[in-house]
Amino acid sequence: MTRGEATRQRLYLVTPRIEDPASFAGHIDQALTAGDVAAVLLRLADGDERTQIERAKTIAAVVQRRDVALLIEGHAELAARAGADGAHIGGIEAFVAALPLLKPDRIVGVGGLFSRHDAMLAGEAGADYVMFGEPDRRGRRPPFDEVEEHLLWWAELLEIPCVGYAGHPDEVAALARTGADFVALGEWIWTEPQGVAAAVSAAAGDLTTPVAR
C-alpha cells in the first residue's frame, strides 16, 4: 500500500468479524476477482490467541495468493504469528504503542482519527497509511462532509497514502473524487443482494484513475 508519482486508486475490503473462516473464504475469493483490491482488513471475532491465529492463517492463505495484503484489525501482536502483512490500529495512542511490534517488517495503518492533529501525529510517527471515516466501536461515524474535507486536505498536502471508508455504496464515488489513494468498502459489500462480486465490481467502476501526486 504505497503511493507513486501517479498511482491508480484501489479498493480496500473490510470483513465482518470472522468466526468461521473456512465458510467465509469463498466470499473473499469472489471479491478479490471482481476488482483491483490492494488489501483486506480482517476483523476477528473474540477468541483465544491460538484460535485467532488459525482464523487469520486461513484467510491469509486465500488473500495473499492473489498478491493482496492482509491486515488484522487491532491485535498487532498476532500479525507476525499469523503471517499477516500488517495491522490496522484504531486511535493514535494504540497506534504508537503498536509500532514496535510491527515496524519495520510489516504494514501499520491507523484509523479512528477524528482530527487533523491526530492524523498528523500518526504520519509523523511512521504510519504507512491513514484512514478517515470508519465507524467507532459503537458504529458511529463522523459526518461525511468532514470525511471528504479531511481526505481532500491530506491528499493535497501529504505523501503518506490515505484511505476513505465507504459505509454505503453511494459514498464510493464521492470518496474517489477527493483523491484518496484507496477506498475502503465496509461490511455492506458482503450482504449486497446482487452478491459480493457484483458489489466490488460496481465500486471499482466508481474509482478515478490515476491519482496524480
Q: Is residue 1 part of a domain?
A: no
Q: Is residue 90 part of a domain?
A: yes
Domain holding 147, by residue range, is: 6-206
Q: How many domains does the chain have?
A: 1
Q: What is the CATH number of the domain that holds 140?
A: 3.20.20.70
Q: Is residue 147 part of a domain?
A: yes
Q: Is residue 129 part of a domain?
A: yes
Q: State residue 210's pLDDT score.
A: 58
Q: State residue 202's pLDDT score.
A: 96
Q: Is residue 211 part of a domain?
A: no
Count the residues in the chain: 213
Q: Is residue 58 part of a domain?
A: yes
The one-character DSSP state at 55 is H
Close Cβ partners of 133 (under 8 Å, ≥ 6 residues apart): 141, 142, 144, 147, 151, 164, 165, 166, 167, 175, 184
Q: Is residue 213 part of a domain?
A: no
C-alpha distances (whole Å) from 31 to each of 34, 41, 91, 107, 160 are: 5, 13, 28, 22, 26
More confident residue, 115 or 154: 154
Q: Is residue 32 part of a domain?
A: yes
pTM of the complete model: 0.93
Q: State residue 1's pLDDT score.
A: 66
For 152, the 3-state DSSP assignment is helix
* Residue 6: pLDDT over 70: no
Please state, in angstroms and rounded to a whole number, the distance separating the CA atoms of residues 1 and 11. 11
pLDDT in tens, 59-113: 999 999 999 999 999 999 999 899 999 999 999 999 999 999 999 999 999 999 8
pLDDT in tens, 122-136: 999 999 999 999 998
Please state, in angstroms and rounded to a whole number, the distance separating the CA atoms of residues 10 and 60. 19
Instruction: Specify whether the CB–CB gap between 26 and 17 falls below 8 A.
Output: no
